[in-house]
Structure 1
Amino acid sequence: MNIEQIRDYCLAKKGTIEDFPFDEDTLVFKVLGKMFALVSLKKWEAGETTINLKADPEYSEELRADYNSIRPGFHMSKKHWNTLYLHEGELQPKLILELIDHSYAMVIKGMTKKMRETFLS
């Protein structure tokens, strides 16, 4: 997958915006102000295609055990975030999209009940 495919997929999700809150290099996708995906554009340009995604801690452990290309989140909470090393070629596009969906769902799940009801209506 390339960065444009990931960008288009993330932005197609309800309420998603892209932002550069840290610097001009780190592209962040947010839903209702909460991050669900981060990409270093400089790393992508250099061929190190990675994406940081939020994940349920138990699911994170399973993913890390099953895939060498999924590791604890780089510069993120190791419990709640994973870094996917896409350039290693192990992860199929379908799985990458599923993990983006999971990250997005984790952020929605973490909202207050009232926010979720308003957002999902």
Structure 2
Amino acid sequence: MSDIKRMEIGTRMSKIVINNGVVYLAGQVAEDATKDIKEQTRTMLAKVEALLAEAGSDKEHMLSATLYIRDMKDFAQMNEVWDAWVPEGHAPARACVEARLARPELLIEVSVVAAQK
């Protein structure tokens, strides 16, 4: 039996769940949904980085990422930010799907799984 640790627990979800050295992050979105895809991606990834640090991990330990993008027309611009953010040689398994998000002004959301350091 394993110990499940939940952090930043809310009514609906925990922002971080850790089990057997694996970190699961709740979906993260931009700080300011009025910004363009590049800025939304930057601030979303900054939130991911902060949560990973809180959980004893970092972007070099990401195992997988699922990106939800409102419109694939923004795919190339989103990838410019993503590619600059992911450390070379440490790209996680990744999926990117076009999806309706919780609010129409949101352009991108990510869900990340990582190993603890």
Q: Which interval holds the TM-score relative to the shorter structure?
A: under 0.3
Larger strand share, 1 or 2: 2
TM-score by length of 1: 0.25
TM-score by length of 2: 0.25
